[in-house]
Amino acid sequence: MTTRIHYTKPSITELEVGYATDAARNGWGEHCYDYIHRFEALFREHLGVKFAIATSSCTGALHMGLAALGVGPGDEVILADTDWIASAAPITYLGATPVFVDIRPDSWCIDPDAAAAAITPRTKAILAVHLYGNLCDMDRLLDIGEQHGIAVIEDAAEAIGSIYHGRRAGSIGRFGAFSFHGTKTLTTGEGGIFVTDDADLHERVLTLSNHGRARSQSKQFWPDRVGFKYKMSNVQAAIGCAQMERIGELIARKRAIFAAYREQLAGLPGIALNPEPEGTQIGAWMPTVVFAPETDISRERLQAAFAAANIDARVFFYPLSGLPMFTPHPENRHAWDLPNRAINLPSYHDMSGEDVDRVVAVIKDLLPHA
């Protein structure tokens, strides 16, 4: 039996183990925030932003950021129909309505024209999700936001390492949010971070992140409003600090795996990989293959073929509006069509060349003229 190829797993070295051990042994009392503050500083520097608040998840970062923008009952937030529910859920937490629009067939990210057409007097924000590390058309989205006086925010959960015309994904909108789940390029096990250049927004989120206790408040245990508890632990941040010291290596390895797929699959008929438009760089968190309709290759056929080869392969995200808790919007035709003929490919950091060859062989066996 061949060794199983997993779709993703973290890259953990003795550096992460050492920092986590130090945090567990010494990171208490007056030192309980040491690694958290260090991690936030390292991430700020990497991203080129002024403010960062480490959180327990990207979902929590989005929730607090939306709350700080004043999103609430009766408001609408526009986002792509193709996504994981973690982007839409915080909108519903606040009593607002997620408005799902179609994706572009090339980038698989939100279609700016569809977003513009969906704006109403109730629209509070556009949420740009950089799906699988692919990049949204941020220039167009920012223009739309400016024209209508609404915020454009970035869900960069999957986009560590992605660069849009000289700026890192997550640093471009009113605020950005990242995930450090165990599947991500950089991990803290679970975790996320809120980032912004807006000092007032940062202060509001900082207050919300500490049960509503403003840091200017002199009374002990006196919250000024009802807040949240989405803090990252010091032990998690210690792992994150080690990962940040290796961030260049981690991104480079992801891109190298993607490059190997792109090279071996180049020229094969009827398939498309993650696009990388001129002037951009994708972090390549999740290499993905979309098969053309004429290949007649379905999601189920792909799952069966990879399972037979003892390889994990993730399905492309289902349209959110097709889930039972939302109203169906099949008019978002690309969002409803692409998942039926696409698959995410394994891309963990220590994949070998032979592992990549095995994955590619499954794809070639499926294509009649490969």
- Phi and psi for 196 in degrees, rounded to 5? -165, 165
Whether 4 is in a domain gets the answer no
The pLDDT tens digits of the residues spanning 153-203 come to 999 999 999 999 999 999 999 999 999 999 999 999 999 999 999 999 999
Whether 74 is in a domain gets the answer yes
Quick check: 301 and 182 in contact, CB under 8 A? no
Question: pLDDT at position 368, please?
Answer: 75
Q: Against a cut of 0.85, is the pTM above it?
A: yes
pLDDT-derived band at 301, boundaries 50, 70, 90: very high
Q: Within a 10 A sphere around the Cβ of 319, how many other Cβ atoms?
A: 26
Distance CA 306, CA 355 (A): 13
Same domain, yes or no: 64 and 78: yes
Same domain, yes or no: 240 and 251: no
Question: pLDDT at position 347, please?
Answer: 96
Domain count, the chain: 2
Same domain, yes or no: 203 and 260: no
User: Token digits for 136?
Assistant: 């949204």
Residue 131, domain CATH? 3.40.640.10
Check whether 247 has a pLDDT greater than 80.
yes
Q: Which amino acid is at 165?
A: H
The pLDDT tens digits of the residues spanning 72-121 come to 999 999 999 999 999 999 999 999 999 999 999 999 999 999 999 999 99
Same domain, yes or no: 204 and 345: no
Same domain, yes or no: 143 and 218: yes
In terms of phi and psi (left: phi > 0; alpha: psi -120 to 50; beta: otherwise), the region of 58 is: alpha
Distance CA 248, CA 244 (A): 8
End position of a domain, from candidates 245, 265, 285? 245
For residue 287, what are the domain limits?
247-366
Whether 161 is in a domain gets the answer yes
Same domain, yes or no: 173 and 254: no
Residue 357, domain CATH? 3.90.1150.10
Same domain, yes or no: 93 and 205: yes
The pLDDT tens digits of the residues spanning 321-352 come to 999 999 999 999 999 999 999 999 999 999 99
Q: Which alpha helices (DSSP H) does 266-325 contain, by range?
A: 299-308
- Give the length of the chain: 370
End position of a domain, from candidates 245, 270, 302? 245
Question: pLDDT at position 122, please?
Answer: 98
Same domain, yes or no: 288 and 165: no
Same domain, yes or no: 237 and 300: no
Closest to 231 in 3D by CA, of 208, 259, 249: 208
- Using a pLDDT cut of 70, give the percent of the chain over it: 99
Q: Within a 10 A sphere around the Cβ of 45, how many other Cβ atoms?
A: 11
Question: pLDDT at position 2, please?
Answer: 85
Average pLDDT, integer, range 299-306: 96
